[in-house]
Amino acid sequence: MFRPLMPGLALAILCGCATADVTLVQDGQPVASIVTADSPTRSAREAARALQDYLLRITGAELPIVAEANAPEGARILVGASGLTAALGYDAAQLALEQSIVRVHDGNLVVIGDDEKPTGGALYGTRHAAYMLLNALGCRWLWPGEVGTVIPQQTTLTVADDLSLDWTPQLLKRGLRSAGYNDRVQRGLDKLGWTAEDFEALHATGLGDWYAAHRTGGSFAGSYGHAYGSYWDKYHEEHPDWFAMQPNGSRDQGNIGGRARLCVSNQELIEHIAREKIAELQARPDADCVSISPNDGGAATFCTCPACESWDHPDSPTIEIYWTDEEDRRKEHLSLSDRYARFYNEIAKIVAQECPGRLLGAYAYSAYRTVPVEQTLEPNILIGFVGVNYVNHEAYEADMATFEGWADRSSNIFWRPNLLGGGMGFPQNFARALGRDVGVMADKGLTVTDFDCQYQHWALKGLTYYVLAEMLADPDADPDAIIDDYCAAGFGPAAENVRAYFDALETITDRVSEDASYEGRKANPEVLAAFYDDETLAELQAHLDAARAAAAGDEAILARIDFLQVAPDYARVNRDYFLARFAAQQSGERADRDKMRAAEQAREDFYQQVGLSWAINSAYLKYYGF
C-alpha cells in the first residue's frame, strides 16, 4: 500500500516546498534528465536504467542519465540518495527498511528508497520506487515478456504536482521461488528435443522485470531450512546418544545419514546446537535468522527414548509415525509438536542471552505440525508453516486453523507452501482466495513468505501469480480490485469478458475443492481431469471468444487473449490423456491402450506447437509426465 510520508520525514521536506507539474517529455522530445549520485547504489543504477528504458517505450524519447556533478538545469528525476535529494530534505538514513518514496518537489521528481540495511547488505528501495512511478504512469507487468507488458503510449508526459507515493512493506520477505533451469528441466528439454540455451534465452526476457515490478524479495536475510544434515557423519561416533532411539533400542541412523533424527531432549545436544547457532550469528551480523529446524524425511524414525517421550503432551492429537526397521512400520503416536516446540525453546533461551534480537528459524512440519497443547514459542523463534492448498476445502479449513493456532503461540511466523505446484498442469484460479489468505495471515503476524513451485505456467496460473505478488507487497489490498485492474490494464474493452473468463475458471477450481475427491498431485489425476469436461471448456471458450470480439482491431490485446487461449486448449489435451490412461489401466484392452498412446501423442504435439513459452513450462510438464 502507498502510505503517507513518515511524519518526521514529511516535516523535513515540506518546509518551503513549492510544487509544480514536472514535464519529462514534450512532443516526443526529452525535456528532463535522470540524475543519480556520483556513486549511486546498485538499486539506484537499476532504477535509473528502468526509468530510462520504460519512459523511452512510453514516449519514444530517451532521457539522459547523468551523475549529479554534471546535472543540467531544468526538470530532473532525482533517482536515489544524492546531494541534491539531501538538499531537499530527504535523508536516506531515516527511511524505514525498504521504504520507497516518489513525489514532486521544487520542479524535481524525487524517486528514492532505502537501499542498505543497517547491518550491511543491499536493499532495493529506490528500484521499488521507480517501478511504483511506472505503475502510476500506467505500466503493468501481467506476465513476463513483451506480450504481458502493458506500456501506455503518449508523446507528451507530465507528472502532476500532487503525485506522492510512499510504501513500506509489511512483510520482511516476499519470496516467490522461480523454477529456473535445473536437472529436471534438462530432462524435460531432452525429451522434447530442446536445448538449455533456448530455455535460458526465454528466461532472460522479462522475468527479472516482472519480479522487480512487483517488489518481490525483501530485507530478511537468513535461513530456516533443515539444519542437521551433516550431524550423523560428524558426531555419531563420539556422541551416539545425540541421535534418535528406535523402538528396538538402537540409535543407528546410518541408513538415512543426512536425514538423521536427533534425541531432542538431550541437554548436551541442546547446548551444542545453541553454541553453534550463537557462533553462526556472530559470524554473520547481516543475518536476521539461522536455522534450528530438524532434518527432512517425513514422519519417520523419531526418538522413542523415555526423556523425549515425556516431552509429548498427553492431550496431543494422534498421528502416524514410521520406523524403518520395524516389520509393522506404521504406528500411532502422540503428535510431537510439544516435544519439538520445547526443543526449539530450550535452544532459543540460550541463544537469546548472547544474541538478543536475532531469530532462530524452524518448521512446524511432519510429525510436529499440529498446534502444541502447552508450549508457547520463545519470542526469538521464527516458526514456519508449510500447509494450505486450494484443491480440498476440508483440508484447507484444517490448515488455516493450524496456521492460526501456531500464530497464536508464536511472535514470528513464516509461510512456506507448495500450493503453486498443484493442479497437474490444468488451469486454475485461486487468486482471490490466496489473496484473501495473505491478508488474514498478515493480520495474524505473518512476516516472511517463501512460496515454492512457481513453475512459470503463466497461461494456467498467471493471474494467481500476479495477485499473490501484489498482496505480498500490500496485504491490506483488495484482491478483487487487483483483478479488475489486471483485466482493465491488459484487456481494455475486453476487460469484462476476460474477468468473466477468470471467474469461470475460479468456479472450476472451487468445484474441485468442494468435491474433495481429487487427492492431489499424481494420486488420481483422472478425477481432476473430469472436471474439465466439454461443457465446462465451452464456457471458458465463449468468454475468450467474446473478449476477441470486444478487442477487435487491437493487436496487443488480441495477442494477450491468444496467450490465455493456451490454458483451455492445454486442458483439453491434458484431460484426454489422463482419462484415456485411466481407461487403459482399468480395462487392459489393447484398443484402450492405443487410445492412450494417441492422446499422449496429441499432448506431445501440443508441447511442440506451443514451444518454449511463458504460457506453459513444457519442459517441467514433460518431466513430470503431465
- Can you give the pLDDT at residue 307? 99
The answer on 204 and 301 residing in a single domain is no
pTM of the model: 0.95
- Can you give the pLDDT at residue 8? 32
* Domains held by the chain: number: 3
Q: Using an 8 Å Cβ cutoff, are 277 and 351 in contact?
A: yes
The answer on 149 and 23 residing in a single domain is yes
CATH number at residue 113: 3.30.379.10
Q: Collect the ranges in the chain with pLDDT lower than 50.
A: 1-18
Give the C-alpha separation, 190 to 167, whole Å: 45
* 197, 210, 566 from 204: Cα distances, Å: 11, 11, 22
Q: Is the dihedral of CA 494, 499, 504, 505 positive or negative?
A: positive
Residue-range definition of the domain harbouring residue 127: 7-167
User: Is 432 part of any domain?
Assistant: no
Q: Using an 8 Å Cβ cutoff, are 103 and 110 in contact?
A: yes
- Can you give the pLDDT at residue 3? 36
- Can you give the pLDDT at residue 13? 33
The answer on 260 and 205 residing in a single domain is no
Angle at 475 between CA 145 and CA 80, to 5 degrees: 60
Tell me the pLDDT tens digit for each residue of 80-123: 999 999 999 999 999 999 999 999 999 999 999 999 999 889 99
The answer on 198 and 130 residing in a single domain is no
Give the C-alpha separation, 465 to 548, whole Å: 24
Q: Using an 8 Å Cβ cutoff, are 174 and 123 in contact?
A: no
Give the C-alpha separation, 543 to 547, whole Å: 6
User: Is 54 part of any domain?
Assistant: yes
Which helix (H) or strand (E) segment holds residue 586: the answer is helix 555-587
The answer on 592 and 518 residing in a single domain is yes
The answer on 200 and 143 residing in a single domain is no
User: Is 506 part of any domain?
Assistant: yes
The answer on 17 and 144 residing in a single domain is yes
Tell me the pLDDT tens digit for each residue of 509-551: 999 999 989 988 788 999 999 999 999 999 999 999 999 999 9
Please name the residues in contact with 328: beta carbons below 8 A apart, sequence gap of 6 or more: none
The β-bridge partners of 67 are: 36
User: Is 97 part of any domain?
Assistant: yes
User: Is 67 part of any domain?
Assistant: yes
The answer on 395 and 541 residing in a single domain is no
Give the C-alpha separation, 340 to 371, whole Å: 11
The answer on 374 and 242 residing in a single domain is yes
User: Is 469 part of any domain?
Assistant: no
User: Is 443 part of any domain?
Assistant: no
The answer on 525 and 614 residing in a single domain is yes
Tell me the pLDDT tens digit for each residue of 289-313: 999 999 988 778 899 999 999 999 9
User: Is 588 part of any domain?
Assistant: yes
- Can you give the pLDDT at residue 17? 46
The answer on 113 and 203 residing in a single domain is no
The answer on 153 and 74 residing in a single domain is yes
- Can you give the pLDDT at residue 520? 80
Residues 238, 240, 241, 242, Cα dihedral to 10°: 80
